[in-house]
Every structure is written in C-alpha cells, then in structure tokens.
Amino acid sequence: MRGQGLFAAPVPGTSLVHRTPLWLKLVGVLCVGILPWVTSAGWPLAVVTIALVGVVLVARLPARRLARSMRGLLPVLVVLLAFQWWAHDLAYAVRVVLGIVNAFVAAGILTATTPVSDLLDGVVRAARPLGRVIDPEVVALTLGIVVRSVPWVAGSFASVRESARARGLDRDPRAVVVPSVVHVVSFARATGEALAARGLTDPAGDDEAPGRHTAPTGSP
Amino acid sequence: MTEVRLDRAVVTVPDDGSPERRPRTILGPVDLVLDERRVSVVGANGSGKSTLLRLLNGLVAPTSGSVTVDGLDTVRDGGRVRRRVAFAFTDPISQLVMPTGREDVELSLRRKHRSRAERRSAADAVLNRFGLSHLADQSVYDLSGGERQLMAVAVVLATDPGLLVLDEPTTLLDRRNILRLRALLDGLPQSVVVATHDLDLAADADRTLVVDGGRIVFDGEPRAAVEHYVRLVDGS
C-alpha cells in the first residue's frame, strides 16, 4: 500500500519554508484553518490558495505529490461542492471547498517540510505545561501516528475501491465503505499492538512501577 | 542470555461460538524454560504459536500460571519486560509507526536520549549497524517488503533488548529477502525466538518447539522437530 502525497514523508530540503521555525508554520496552518470562520467573502480564501501555491513553489515540493494528495480528496470535494450548492448557493459552496483545500494544503506543506521527530519535539514542548494532566510524549506520539496514518488510510481506500470495481460493485457504496472501515479498524488495532509491544504505551518511569495488566489481544 | 520461564501458563478466550461464552483454552498449560541463543517455533495456522510468542513480552497475559523474563513477571513488570524483549510482527507496515525509518528509530530512542542531537546520532548509528542508512529518509511506504521487515527489526532492536521475538517474519518475503533477514538474525548478539513456516529457518535454531492445538507437542533438536511437524501435518 503506497502513499506518496504530501503527508507520506517529509521532502528533504533547505528552502526558506524548510528553515522556518516550527511555531511559525503552526501559526500559519492555524490561521489558514481559521480564515473561513472569520470571513464571509470568497476572495481572501482565493488569495490564500494562490499564496499556498507560492509556498509550495518556494519549498520546491514536487507538484506530483501535491497532485496525488489532491486526487484522493477530490471525490469528497466534488460531493461537498454539490451538496453545499444545493443547500446554500454556489458562492458559499466554493468558499467551503476552498477553505478545506487551503487547510489540507497548508497541513501538507507543514508535514512535507518538517521532520516528524521535530514536530513531536515541538508538541512535547508545547504540551509540557499540561504535564500534570496529560503525558506530552503520548500527545506527540498520537500526532505522529495521525500524520503517518493519513497516507495509509488513503491507500487503503483506493485499494478497496479497486477491489469493488474488479467485482463490478463500484456503484455500491457498501462495497467500499464497509471494507474500508474494517481495514482502518484492523490497522488501528495492529498499530496499537505494535506500540504496546515496543513499550511505547507504558507509562514513563515504568522501570520502577508495577506494569499494567495487558488483556489478551493476539489471535491464536 | 535472556531466560524466559513459563510456569503452567494457560491462555483462554471467551468462546463466541457457545451461547454461554464459556472460556476456550487456546494455549497451555505450558511449562518451558528458554535460555538458548536461537529458538524456533513451528506449527499450523491457529495452533497457538502467535499466542505463545505474545506471552513472552506481555502482549498477551496468561489467564493462569505465570511467564517471567529474567525473573520479571510479564504482567506485574510489563514495562521492564518490554524493555528486555523486542517483538517484530509479520507485517512490518503496522509496526513502523513513523513516516520514515530514521524517525521510527528515533521514536524508539526517545526515552533513552532526550536531546534531539543525541537521538539523531544514535539513530544513525543503529541504521548504519544494520546497513540501512541509505533507506533512512525514505517513506516506509516506498520500501520493498524485505526492506520494511529489516527496518522493523532494526527499529525494535534500537534499544538493545536482550531477546528478539519474531512472529512469522518471512511470510511476506521473497527468497532473496528471506536470506537477507536470516543473515541479519545470524549476526545478532541477542537471543532470538522465531515462529515461522519457513522450515529451513526453523531448522537453523538451537532448539525447536512444535505447537499443535495449543500445546507443545515436541521440544528438542530442530531437525527432529521439523520432521515431527511434517509428519504431523502430512498425517492430518
């Protein structure tokens, strides 16, 4: 199962975007995500779209990877555009779709220009003040797994669609949705088991404390 | 050498097939002491091999009896056991949880090295030791099946555990990659317990267990064990 979109792995480089501090990139992603909520006009979103294309060019991210990422999202965008057009009007539908595209591309630029280990370090630093409530390492690990799982889920969905097409069931949504959900649940379970096997879910300092009881999870 | 001890270890699961969901024994009782450098486990699908292996680092807890690794109970001292016992799964893609191999090795080392520079340097040393430096920054999705499996083994060995447990590591590999994995395993200083359907790999151990119907039905010299297993399968 292959995923070579913007989220698959960082694109090594020394561009201005690569060298931009993580906090600034995160603020940028946040602003892009918030923009659709604070503007009722379409042109600011269009400006951001053009700016993001500029950032992609400056970062020298392969256009192919961007296109692959967008291709996976395209069916959802088309359905969303049609629904919002029907429910509201075309201008509103375009704003919704542009907002999603911008957030998706901004997040993709962040992950493509930042090693995940740097992201994890950043999250651990940011979550440290909340250390009494949550384990910053667990928060960082969760984020890392989310980033890594996006291409897997997209690849799984494509494989399932291909299988449905091979069986002549591509028009039946159940033939795509049900196996996709089963795949994702199975993947989540296998990932959880792998994390447990590596001791990554054990509390820090477990060297001294008694271990937790792990319920049987493996198949015989 | 790491010593694993199973004392009357039994694993049961609720039987979904019966209306009362009465417990069904899927393994045991098993009494074993494993202290050889290389131990292989063979058995048919569903025989209990994977459950036996999962007992060794506490992924599965015994319903009754106990499992200890160097005297540490896998239930009470789960965290410490998992630092001593690394586990590699059949499908490495579910095990490689970061986008690239380097980042995954760094993840293994996060508790050992808090400084990013130290972690990076230690990860480079691990990848170099396993001859995987050239694959360090590739997406794990772009690696071949064999490369992924080697990377998954390197990732779990990064913390220098005493015992490596592998659950059918060659199932998804072609012949060339099986040989690469075997060469890597041969060179490891760690004790290794491997469940496999590859009878050549099984016969290469110091001791082989044959599992059938949740019980150890043969325990001894690898060639004799493999012959026993073949007779068992052919006779059924």
Q: Is A6:A164 a contact under the CB 8 Å cutoff? A: no
Of the residues A57, A82, A114, the one at which a domain ends: A114
Chosen from B82, B137, B157 to mutate, greatest number of chain A CBs within 10 A: B82
- Domain co-membership, A86 together with A137: no
Q: Model confidence over B16-52: pLDDT tens digits?
A: 666 677 788 889 799 999 999 999 999 998 899 999 9
Overall number of domains in chain A: 2
Mean pLDDT of chain B: 89
- Domain co-membership, A100 together with A160: no
Inter-CA distances, B122 with A33, B71, B113, B131, Å: 37, 29, 8, 14
Q: Model confidence over A34-52: pLDDT tens digits?
A: 998 888 888 999 999 999 9
How far, in Å, CA of B81 to CA of B5, rounded? 12
- Domain co-membership, A157 together with A100: no
Instruction: Please tell me whether the overall predicted TM-score, pTM, comes out greater than 0.90 for this model.
Output: no
Q: Examine residue A210 and state whether it is found in any structural domain, yes or no.
A: no
- Domain co-membership, A70 together with A132: no
Q: What is the mean pLDDT of the segment spanning B212-222?
A: 93
Of the residues A68, A98, A114, the one at which a domain ends: A114
- Domain co-membership, A63 together with A109: yes
Across the interface, of B27, B78, B140, the residue whose CB is closest to A214 is B78
Q: Chain A contact for B175, CB < 8 A?
A: no
Please name the residues between 11 and 30 in chain B that touch chain A, using a CB distance below 8 Å.
11, 13, 26-27
Q: Model confidence over A54-104: pLDDT tens digits?
A: 999 998 888 887 887 787 788 888 999 999 999 889 988 999 999 999 999
How far, in Å, CA of B5 to CA of B55, rounded? 11
Q: Residue A217's pLDDT is what?
A: 43
| Position B116 pLDDT exceeds 50 | yes
ipTM above 0.85, yes or no: no
Q: Residue B127's pLDDT is what?
A: 92
Q: Residue B17's pLDDT is what?
A: 67
Structural domain that includes position A130: 117-202
Q: Is B130:B184 a contact under the CB 8 Å cutoff? A: yes
Q: Residue B115's pLDDT is what?
A: 80
Q: Model confidence over A193-208: pLDDT tens digits?
A: 888 888 887 776 555 4
How far, in Å, CA of B168 to CA of B40, rounded? 10
How far, in Å, CA of A39 to CA of A85, rounded? 18
Q: Which CATH architecture has domain B4-235?
A: 3-Layer(aba) Sandwich (3.40)
Question: Which of A168-177, B135-144, B224-233 shows the highest mean pLDDT?
Answer: B224-233
Dihedral sign for Cα atoms in the order A144, B144, B156, B165: positive
Tokens of A77: 């965008």
Q: Residue A215's pLDDT is what?
A: 41
Q: Do B50 and A220 touch (CB under 8 A)?
A: yes
Across the interface, of A2, A118, A211, the residue whose CB is closest to B75 is A211
**Chain A partners of B58 at a C-beta cutoff of 8 Å?**
211, 214
Q: What is the mean pLDDT of the segment spanning A167-171?
A: 79
Domain boundaries, chain B: 4-235
**Which of the residue ranges A3-7, B43-47, B162-166, B206-210 would you say has the lowest mean pLDDT?**
A3-7
Classified as helix, coil or strand, B128 is helix
Tokens of A199: 């001791």
Of the residues A114, A134, A156, the one at which a domain ends: A114
Q: Examine residue A56 and state whether it is found in any structural domain, yes or no.
A: yes
**Which of B214, B223, B222 is CA-nearest to residue B50?**
B214
Q: Residue B206's pLDDT is what?
A: 93
- Domain co-membership, A150 together with A104: no
Tokens of A43: 């042109």
Q: Examine residue A78 and state whether it is found in any structural domain, yes or no.
A: yes
Across the interface, of A197, A215, A216, the residue whose CB is closest to B87 is A197
Q: Is B32:B216 a contact under the CB 8 Å cutoff? A: yes
Dihedral sign for Cα atoms in the order B142, B144, B150, B152: positive
- Domain co-membership, A104 together with A131: no
User: Strand pairing of B4-14 and B23-34?
Assistant: antiparallel
Backbone angles phi, psi at B192, to 5 degrees: -130, 135
Q: Model confidence over A117-148: pLDDT tens digits?
A: 788 888 888 888 887 887 777 887 887 788 77
| Position A212 pLDDT exceeds 60 | no
- Domain co-membership, A106 together with A9: yes
- Domain co-membership, A95 together with A18: yes
